[in-house]
Amino acid sequence: MDAPLRLPATQGTAGACWAAGAPGVRPRGSHFLKARRSKKAMILNKGTVYVAAVVLVPLICNRAWAQGKLGTMASPLKLTAGECKTCHPRYYQEWKQSYHARSVVAMQTGFKKYIITQELAKRRVLNRDELMGCLGCHAPVMRFAADEDLARLVQLVETDQRDALAGLNVDCVACHTLVASNHPEAKSAGKLGRQVYYGTIKNPVSAPHGTQYAAKMEKSEFCKPCHSYVTPADMKVDADWDIVCALTYDAWAAGPYGPKAKKAHLRECQSCHMEKKDGKAAEVASATIPMRKVSSHLFPGWHDAAVLQRAVEIYVSSKRGTKIGTAELTVTIDNKAGHRFPDT
């Protein structure tokens, strides 16, 4: 899909707009301003450089307008994490605290820089594929969003409206249907009863939705599509601005716990990031839910002080130095993470 995304009609007012521009946005020539004032010019020049001007103006000049009208963004799917909360409250609470639950809010600054610099370089708004180049991992369900919603998302990102973006994330549905099913393009059904959730319980009790055992979900392979990434050359913002989002999979695969290690040493991502404990996988009054080994959904990483503390062990030993009055210190840093530390 190459056509530029359509945006709501602008209410741009001329004036000292560019002065209030976002960091990194350079003022442009007066022909852009002309295009912006005339609706006719907009239509005539659709698809050319003028389109970019039409988009950036409301973003940069009319923050107040944008804040008033844009509203908050939500998943384009009917079933979201909120619908799982009733019966899976622990999973919901844990996931909510994780970085998977704020995967757009947390990347907003970098996303904004990416969008603005790409729009300036390409002299047009970014299309669906270019935006999904980031959202495919940061908010996979946006692949089902309408063009208008993607355009609105761009406006929210460019005007730093993080609160309005909080509803976009990597949620239960993204992992338990899209990624786990191997058919991420299949839109989930609107009704819970018609949905299949893939998981690692081999013998689930009868659930109000379909369940399917997926062995892959216990393996690092499951995390790989999102945790292995370097910006492709045509998506670079500057020659030196690589978005190395996530290379933990690659580092793990080459490291002491990956497939190259002795079998006894192999540790999947889940063993460190989704610790198992005794508990119930669902809380439903109408059924007896058995105790099982259940997985934490907190996904702690470098934002978590306790995990960071466990990431390295530092040993210091000393002995008398060869010269009088000196000591020799040996500092050993042992990396306990299954991959590079820090990642990027």
- Judge whether 161 and 73 are in contact, CB under 8 Å: no
Closest approach of ligand HEC to the CB of residue 7, in Å: 20
Instruction: Find the shortest distance in angstroms from Cβ 315 to ligand HEC.
Output: 17
Residue with smaller CB distance to ligand HEC, 37 or 292: 292
Specify the residue, 12 or 300, whose C-beta has the smaller distance to ligand HEC.
300
Nearer to ligand HEC, 69 or 78 (CB): 78
Minimum Å distance from CB 91 to ligand HEC?
A: 4
Task: Give dist(CA 19, CA 26) in Å, integer.
Answer: 9
- 61 or 115: CB nearest ligand HEC: 115
Smallest distance from ligand HEC to CB 29, Å: 28
Q: How far apart are the first and last CA of the chain?
A: 32
Count Cβ atoms below 10 Å from residue 123 Cβ, excluding itself: 14
Measured CA to CA, the distance from residue 222 to residue 216 in angstroms comes to: 6
For 6, 40, 155, the CA distances from 45, given in Å and listed in that order, are: 13, 8, 21
**Cβ atoms of residues 6 and 151 within 8 Å:** yes
Q: CA–CA distance from 94 to each of 97, 209, 295 (Å)? A: 5, 21, 10
The nearest distance, CB 21 to ligand HEC, in angstroms, is 20
CB half-sphere exposure, 26, CA atoms < 13 A: 8
Q: Which of 33/311 has CB closer to ligand HEC?
A: 311
Residue 287 beta carbon to ligand HEC: minimum distance, rounded to whole angstroms: 6
Which residue has the closest beta carbon to ligand HEC? 199
* DSSP β-ladder status, 276-279 and 327-335: unpaired
Residue 41 or 242 having the CB closest to ligand HEC:
242
